[in-house]
Amino acid sequence: MRVGIIGAGAAGLAAARHVSSYGFDLDVFEMGAQLGGTWVYTDDVGKDRYGYPVYSAMYKGLRTNLPKEVMGYPDFPIPEQKKSYLTQAEILDFLNLYAENFGLKKYIKCNTMVMDVRPVDNQWKITCVDKPTGQIFVNLYDSVMICNGHYNDPITPSIPGQELFAGTIEHSHNYRDPERFRGQKVLVVGAGPSGLDLTLHISSVADYVVLSHRVAEPIKTQYPANVEIRPDIKRILDFDKVEFIDGTCCGFNAILFCTGYRYSFPFLHDSCEISIDDNHIQPLYKHMIHIDKPTMCFIGIPFNVCTFQMFDLQARYYCKYLNGLMSLPSAEEMRVHTQEDMENRQAKGYTKRQMHMMGPDQQSYYNELAHDANTAPIPPVLVKLRDLSVKRLYDDLVNFREDQYKILDEQNFVKVSN
């Protein structure tokens, strides 16, 4: 069994760890200069020194939005220390520690970008470019695990009248630090975790910041006095003036879209038969396995999850299948199961864009995977702590990272200080 893994972020590392533990042959292709994916910070935006796209959306000063008690891997927790919310550099160190501990570095080919993946005679042909030399090479694998992340293809809405705006318009993917907004009037669009966090970062140097959003719930966080919350944008009126749907207007020098990302697999040839419709990827069994070509799998697709924990569980599940320790249902049965899952989601009011969202469904998703693969589940305490942390983020973004937690057992945690 020879396995090709695309990406050496937290998901690709979990995949490599479990694939190697079964003694399979593997290569991990990583387009960046080092492992770590999202957690690698670079000043570069747009293109890198070799002319290839810059992957990471990481920005200076980022601290995690989940406590370290949740962010470790199941049997490889983040080492004990006196805070729960770590910095970008600390998570990157942790991923390096993980890779060293499980001897993964020897499998990772950095600066190697996968350009094309296609099925050939029951195998997968993976074509890569070595970025520094431009040399192309091709390898065949029995299985391919796609771990390329989903924060690299930004969604940037177009606003009526946008062509009139004279200031800068960009997506948070290109945001690195607040300095260039010093003294400016900035409009941040979108109230996901990035929009909320960047509003706070930018408010430390900007003249004022308006956070515009369309979420039904009011934002409870008390921002500094130079931040204002407004509803959705209606249109741009002239070189600086933006009108909101409540009829109010305001002038800006810059607009920063924090409006999310598309799933994107530009290297998958059409013959892989993967389609994406409004961020719904098909045909995937349990949000990970290609129903018609089960030697292809995707690690890390679901969102609103306990990230590294889930990557590890998905990798354990898939490796049991690869090793013949677990069989999958027939393609028809997988299709029916997937259809039912989608219908349940629709019945709950999820949109197509939310077909891979877990949130309140995550514990049952984890339990199902663990049960089917006869492997350890993710303890409920982690899901509870994740949910509390997300609530705290929305309620009190400015202070929630002062909280510290301690896990007591499978079900319980305590807050040790704030």
Instruction: List interacting residues with ligand FAD (CB under 6 A).
Output: 6-12, 29-32, 37-39, 55, 57-58, 62, 64-66, 71, 113-114, 147-149, 151, 194, 267, 300, 307
Closer residue to ligand FAD in complex, CB, 288/322: 288
Minimum distance between the CB of residue 353 and ligand FAD, rounded to whole angstroms? 17
The residues that bridge with 208 in the sheet, in sequence order, are: 185
**Residue of 100, 55, 127 lying closest to 272 (CA atoms):** 127
The answer to whether the Cα torsion of 254, 255, 256, 261 is positive or negative is negative
Q: Which is nearer to ligand FAD, 12 or 190 (CB)?
A: 12
Q: Contact at 8 Å (CB) between 39 and 12?
A: no
55 by DSSP, 3-state: which?
Answer: coil
Residue 54 or residue 210: which is nearer to ligand FAD going by CB? 54
Q: Rank residues 65 and 143 by Cβ distance to ligand FAD and give the closer one.
A: 65
Distance CA 317, CA 319 (A): 6
Least separation in angstroms between CB 274 and ligand FAD: 14
Helix axes 10-21, 307-322, angle to 10 degrees: 30
Sequence-ordered list of residues with C-beta below 8 angstroms from that of 33, at least 6 positions apart, any chain: 40, 110, 111
**Min. distance of Cβ 393 from ligand FAD in angstroms?**
10
In whole angstroms, how close is the CB of 10 to ligand FAD at the nearest point? 4
Taking the complex as a whole, how short is the minimal distance between the CB of residue 137 and ligand FAD, in angstroms?
13
Decide: 3 and 141 in contact? Cβ < 8 Å: yes
Nearer to ligand FAD (CB atom), residue 337 or residue 353: 353
Helices 307-322 & 362-372, crossing angle to 10 degrees?
Answer: 30
Pick from 2, 9, 21: nearest CA to 311: 9
Nearest to ligand FAD of 159, 284 (CB atom): 284
User: What is the 8-class DSSP label of residue 174?
Assistant: G
CA distance 404 to 84: 5
CA distance 418 to 403: 4
Q: Which is nearer to ligand FAD, 343 or 395 (CB)?
A: 395
Whichever of 19 and 236 has its CB closer to ligand FAD, that residue is 19
Please report where in the chains the tokens 């354990």 appear, as a residue. 316
